[in-house]
Each structure stands twice: as C-alpha cells, then as structure tokens.
Chain A
Amino acid sequence: AQKVTQAQTEISVVEKEDVTLDCVYETRDTTYYLFWYKQPPSGELVFLIRRNSFDEQNEISGRYSWNFQKSTSSFNFTITASQVVDSAVYFCALIPMDSSYKLIFGSGTRLLVRP
C-alpha cells in the first residue's frame, strides 16, 4: 500500500516551545519523494521541503528541521521556538515512483501555537 500516516490530529503548544510533527509512510517503491506542506487558515498550500529516498541527511532551515529515517519509514518535522504564526495545518505527502506523480497526502496535523 502507498500511504502516509500523521497520527497527531491536533497539537497545542505555548509560544517558544519546540514541537515535532510525526509522519510515517508506506510504499513498496525504493525510489520516492517526501514532502511537507503548510496550510494556514487562508487555505493555500505552502511548500516547505522535498526529500528523495536516497538522501537521508537531516535538513535544517531556520527554525524548521526534518528528520528522515528510512529504517522506520518516518519523516518527522520539528519547529524550534514555535511562534503564533506557525499555527496551521501541516501535511506530509509522498510521491511513489509508480503513481504518475500523484501526491499522496497524510491526514494533516493541526498545530496551534498559543501566545
């Protein structure tokens, strides 16, 4: 099966706390791409990161970091020192090589950062 699971439906943190959003994926392909998108209340989807299956290096971009672990099929996303503007729904997504470039989305995690 090709599937993305985001087990955390909603997370609420206080500003400046660190928060990790979990993503577990399933695919039978050895080559695939993983993505994270942010969807603020306005609705548009904001691309955050793309990672291919051959690159397990962790990535840091400002307050954002991603931990890709093929051994556990996970691609977790951490926000350090969270801010109110980080409040949004975050989607993890997968493109397996056999799906004609179709993105398979997880169910999303709603993050609320309280002041």
Chain B
Amino acid sequence: GAVVSQHPSRVICKSGTSVKIECRSLDFQATTMFWYRQFPKQSLMLMATSNEGSKATYEQGVEKDKFLINHASLTLSTLTVTSAHPEDSSFYICSARGIGTGVRAEAFFGQGTRLTVV
C-alpha cells in the first residue's frame, strides 16, 4: 500500500508552547488528509479534514484556533497544537487519500505521534 510518513513519532513539550506534527504522503498525491486523536484505550476520533489548498473542516467540539491545520501541498499536511496544555497529551494520527481513489480507497495512516505536554 501507499506510504504515509508522520513526524515526529514522539514529542514532549512544555505547557504553553506549540508543537507541529507533519504528515507526508511519500509515493502518492493526497488530495485529502484527516487528523485523528486517540486517548489511551479509546478509539480514534476525527478532529478535522483538510483538502489541499483550502481551509480545514473541523469536527464539532474541536477548537480550530488551538489545532491549526495546513495542507499546503498535495504531499504535506501539518497539525500545530498551539499553547499546548497537559490535557492535549494524546496520540495523534493522520491519514491520507489519493487523487481519484474516492471512497473505494482505504485510508493510509501515518505511524502516529505521541504528544506529552508537561
């Protein structure tokens, strides 16, 4: 399957600082990328959907000013957690869809980023 690379895999930051997580599609062009959040022993919750060149669509209850998403190119989307607090500590996973694959395609997932805010 296609490869999606997410970086960093782990990050520890101080409360009040911002953290950027990158999601890259390595061997295909991703028109749509999704960002998920997973609390310990819980399922994946969709945070937002980003389409290349346009503003991200956030799910209900997700603060768009806190979780900034940029999808500037067909191979890169970034999630920035601004002014991070300990309650933002979580596992963040991105997934990507390619051009023309539509709903038939499985979502290719990144490896995930474990964020710990101290």
Write the residues of chain A forming the contact surface with B, with a CB cutoff of 8 angstroms: 33, 35, 37, 42-45, 47, 50, 52, 91, 95, 97, 100-103, 105-108, 110
Q: Indicate whether A101 sits within 8 Å of B32 (C-beta atoms), given known contacts A35-B106, A52-B104, A95-B103.
A: yes
Measured CA separation A8–B60 after assembly (Å): 27
Q: Name B91's contact: one of A43, A105, A110 (CB within 8 Å).
A: A43
Interface residue tally on B, bucketed by range: 20 to 34
Q: Indicate whether A105 sits within 8 Å of B44 (C-beta atoms), given known contacts A45-B93, A47-B106.
A: yes
Measured CA separation A91–B42 after assembly (Å): 10
Q: Name A101's contact: one of B42, B91, B93, B97 (CB within 8 Å).
A: B97
Q: Which residues of B contact A108 (CB under 8 A)?
A: 42-43
Specify which of B44, B95, B114 lies most central, judged by the most chain A CB atoms within 10 Å of its CB. Answer: B44
- Which B residue sits closest to A33, measured CB to CB? B103
Q: Name B46's contact: one of A50, A97, A103 (CB within 8 Å).
A: A103
Q: Name B109's contact: one of A45, A50, A52, A110 (CB within 8 Å).
A: A45
Q: Which residues of B contact A52 (CB under 8 A)?
A: 104
Q: Which residues of B contact A37 (CB under 8 A)?
A: 109
B106 touches A102 (CB 8 A): no
B43 touches A102 (CB 8 A): no
Q: Other CB < 8 Å A-B pairs besides A91-B43, A105-B44, 18 of them?
A: A33-B103, A37-B109, A43-B93, A43-B111, A44-B110, A45-B95, A47-B108, A47-B109, A50-B104, A91-B44, A97-B103, A100-B49, A101-B97, A101-B103, A103-B46, A103-B107, A105-B43, A107-B42
Asked if B61 is an interface residue, CB under 8 A from chain A, the answer is no
Q: Which residues of A contact B34 (CB under 8 A)?
A: 102-103
Asked if B100 is an interface residue, CB under 8 A from chain A, the answer is no
